[in-house]
Structure 1
């Protein structure tokens, strides 16, 4: 489960920000997860709760913001929504398309005390 190492990385980012910005506790972590990122939101929530225990983020709520998968069709030249990396263009049916969004995962915001 790679979500555990990702959750540990998120906690490292939070702890670095706390040292830099001087806050003492995190109430909410707003995390963007792309549809095509291969990160399972439920697994991420479970793993984040596990790694956050006994840390500055203990008890923090993880607010997951879903980022849709998008692509650009090289055949018809239009943007298309994607549920999976190799989905065809929703407009013309040609596959594959060039993925343009939804592969990312990032901490968007922290609500801190």
Structure 2
């Protein structure tokens, strides 16, 4: 899928940061002029209409269900690993012990809060 192609590109080029969002056709943009079909000029601006316009991903053949499954099974594991490695690479080694301590403390605190509910 087009999603796998993008993920493989990230794995190959290893940028320090990345963002993963569908393209949005914002009024006034060239993308909107080419593909927006004058939605905001011709339609009522009701909440449902506007949400429907932005929910429609016309640039991908992947269904929302497939995207959700792919994101959970492929993108999220990659993102977690990428984020951890980037933090280690960008943080001076002297700060690693404090960073690990903070991470462990935060996880313990979250678990304690879960058990107290």
Which TM-score bucket, shorter chain as reference?
Answer: under 0.3
Q: Which has the larger radius of gyration?
A: 2
Structure 2 length normalisation: TM-score?
0.26
